[in-house]
Chain A
Amino acid sequence: TQLLEQSPQFLSIQEGENLTVYCNSSSVFSSLQWYRQEPGEGPVLLVTVVTGGEVKKLKRLTFQFGDARKDSSLHITAAQPGDTGLYLCAGDGYGQNFVFGPGTRLSVLP
């Protein structure tokens, strides 16, 4: 069974601070996705990374896929209260179903 771990589990920061959250596995994934889930809503896709070492930017969010395709990071610059939510990583194990990590719950205080 392929497992994804995420750290930290909880993160509370002040508006304007930078942060990085991590998604790690001992398994290789063909691709990895990051979702954000707000309370009472379903997850919404932020990005898909496919190539080892790939870096993608989405405004203040920077996503990186590890060279070995076993890990990924999400860096947020100058966090805003609107960034508050549960950040989930999900991996595709070469044709198997999506595997989700447990998530990082981010709270950005004004």
Chain B
Amino acid sequence: DAMVIQNPRYQVTQFGKPVTLSCSQTLNHNVMYWYQQKSSQAPKLLFHYYDKDFNNEADTPDNFQSRRPNTSFCFLDIRSPGLGDAAMYLCATSRDRGMTGELFFGEGSRLTVL
């Protein structure tokens, strides 16, 4: 059974039209991450939640926001998508910060911006 579930798998939006991507986890992990991955590139961390503590990467555009209403769910909001925001968005969880555990990834949400 999938442990990190992302919805939708595919999202098509128009330039400037807000988008929300969702992620849910059944692992009860403390940390949830959002990564952006463009074609043939490494996943790029946008932000993460350690429990309710939000941590934004310095170079994450203001256009990207996140919410974590409870342990199980986390949302990525893109307020005004541009063509450059077309990418695969990966949600991941880990029991704690640091590499002693592992990152559990969802299957990703592929965003297309027209």
Contact = CB atoms under 8 A, between A and B. Distances in A.
Interface stretch (A13-21, A70-78, A89-97): A89-97
Interface in B86-114: 90, 92, 97-100, 102-108, 110
Interface residues of B, number: 23
B41 to A, nearest CB: 6
A105 B40 contact: yes
A41 B107 contact: yes
Given A41-B108, A88-B42, A97-B45, A33 B100 contact: no
B102 A42 contact: no
B18 interface: no
Interface of B: 4, 33, 40-45, 48, 90, 92, 97-100, 102-108, 110
Interface of A: 4, 9, 29-33, 35, 40-45, 48, 50, 88, 90-92, 95, 97-98, 100-103, 105
21 contacts: A29-B99, A32-B99, A33-B99, A40-B107, A40-B108, A42-B90, A42-B106, A44-B105, A45-B103, A88-B42, A90-B103, A91-B99, A92-B98, A92-B99, A95-B97, A97-B48, A98-B45, A98-B103, A100-B44, A102-B41, A103-B42
